[in-house]
Amino acid sequence: MSGLPTSHLLPTYARVDLAFERGEGAWLTATNGERYLDFTSGVAVNALGHAHPHLVAAISEQVAKLIHVSNLYRIPEAERLAARLCAASGFADLVFFCNSGAEAMECSIKSARKFHAVSGHPERFRIVTFEGAFHGRTLATLAAGGQKKYLEGFGPVVDGFDQVPFGDLAATKRAVGPATAAILIEPVMGEGGVRVVPNEFLRALRALCDQHGLLLVLDEVQSGMGRTGDLFAYQHTGVQPDIMALAKALGGGFPLGACLATAEAGKGMTAGTHGSTFGGNPLAMAAANAVLDVMLADGFLDRVRRLSLVLKQKLAEIKDRYPSVIAEVRGEGLLVGLRTAVPNGELVDALRAEKVITVAAGDNVVRLLPPLIATDADIAEGVRRLDRACARLAEVLHKQGVAG
Ligand code: PLP
């Protein structure tokens, strides 16, 4: 062995030996010409599917006009997008644009800390977070997520995060102290296994924040932008955050993140306190404005909710048919999780053999994340292929003598 790598990409991903060269709607075409049904959407990114005409036109037009300009100047496209996001959110007054989910979370964390600092309480910098959460791969967001497997070997863990068990209100209350600045939670825990935060728990967190002068920070990087059937997942809970992080589907595939805040929560983030060279560039803004055009059009989110019902009903039938393979169906909208009775990777592989791409999550879950523009026929085809994949796995288990 020469010891030379076969690829010059830093091998931080265990990649499948499969590459795609184009896409259309919910379908991807591999370099070998084979077509795959995309039930991953770039992990909740390509909400409008692939090659959506409105998104393609908006990006193409903007790319020919102006790709980038410094944030030292006004960017009208960014001002327009920020105003639209604030109006749609129903709570936010201010937006900071960046390029990824982790950056959106960094800005959220910094805003929460700075809020207390400029309110005369610099000692209040700690943030309560939940076990199993995922907030990104920067040093601070790793500390917020608190997952040992991701933190190991990267030196001292950034201080300021107090983790409590998911859904444990008593532990959350115990974790709040004089140094607490905020509570941070994903309304639907994505990477952690598509665990939906019950409305009453979110309401209890809001009440706890109000009682102690804490900020409620929602990480909607994965759950936001229509994925749950509302533009933002908190919108059906009766709870509003003070700060929210967005990314993934915001640019429809173009890299973009955003941190939204109320005027009060964002009051510490004055000139010079934060920045991003690329954040809010005209090209990214054109992409996101085009995504919003589609998502805010009449009936779009209703359709996502309807597709979700259809999908979940079919999934419940499949679960009943193959209890040795699928243990539970959960999720919200088109952020759906199948907790498997087999190792989740086996179902991901079996689905890929059926030419459907899905993605694993924690808690032995397989995530189904079709693009929000998937047709009824796409969903039906995905279900048919899932049925075949489950049948094959159940057959193997049967031969091995496992009931099912
Ligand atoms: N927050 C949540 C809820 C996520 O799901 C992710 C990514 O999966 C992130 C933050 C980090 O986003 P990014 O990978 O764009 O930095």
pLDDT of residue 1: 47
Q: Is the CB of 145 under 6 A from ligand 1?
A: no
Written as six digits, the tokens of 139 are 């040093």
pLDDT of residue 401: 84
Across residues 362-367, what is the average pLDDT? Answer: 98
Across residues 119-146, what is the average pLDDT? Answer: 98
pLDDT-derived band of residue 48, with 50, 70 and 90 as boundaries?
A: very high
Mean of per-residue pLDDT scores for the chain = 97
Q: Whose CA is nearest to atom 10 of ligand 1?
A: 135
Is the pLDDT reported for residue 174 higher than 90?
A: yes
Is the pLDDT reported for residue 234 higher than 70?
A: yes
Ordered DSSP codes for 285-334: HHHHHHHHHHHTSTTHHHHHHHHHHHHHHHHHHHHHH-TTTEEEEEEETT
30 CA to middle of ligand 1, Å? 26
Please give the number of the atom of ligand 1 that sits closest to the Cα of 43.
8
Across residues 250-272, what is the average pLDDT? Answer: 98
Is the pLDDT reported for residue 72 higher than 50?
A: yes
pLDDT-derived band of residue 26, with 50, 70 and 90 as boundaries?
A: very high
Q: Whose CA is nearest to atom 1 of ligand 1?
A: 135
Q: What whole-number distance in Å separates Cα of residue 180 and Cα of residue 139?
A: 20
Q: Are 374 and 26 in contact (CB under 8 A)?
A: yes
277 CA to middle of ligand 1, Å? 20
Residue to mutate (ligand 1; options 135, 137, 150; most atoms within 8 A of CB)? 135
Q: Is the CB of 190 under 6 A from ligand 1?
A: yes
Q: Whose CA is nearest to atom 5 of ligand 1?
A: 222
Q: Are 323 and 404 in contact (CB under 8 A)?
A: yes
Q: Are 152 and 96 in contact (CB under 8 A)?
A: no
Please give the number of the atom of ligand 1 that sits closest to the Cα of 255.
15
- Between CA 281 and CA 286, with CA 285 as vertex, the angle to 5 degrees is 120
Which residues does residue 188 pair with via DSSP β-bridges, in sequence order?
Answer: 196
Please give the number of the atom of ligand 1 that sits closest to the Cα of 102.
16
Q: Are 381 and 36 in contact (CB under 8 A)?
A: no
Q: Is the CB of 222 under 6 A from ligand 1?
A: yes
Domains in the chain (CATH in brackets) are 16-45+309-322+370-404 (no CATH), 54-295 (3.40.640.10)
pLDDT-derived band of residue 404, with 50, 70 and 90 as boundaries?
A: very low
Please give the number of the atom of ligand 1 that sits closest to the Cα of 103.
16
pLDDT of residue 3: 66
Q: Is the CB of 295 under 6 A from ligand 1?
A: no
Is the pLDDT reported for residue 402 higher than 90?
A: no
Please give the number of the atom of ligand 1 that sits closest to the Cα of 190.
5
- What's the CA dihedral at 83, 85, 91, 94 to 10 degrees? -50
Across residues 75-102, what is the average pLDDT? Answer: 98
Is the pLDDT reported for residue 153 higher than 60?
A: yes
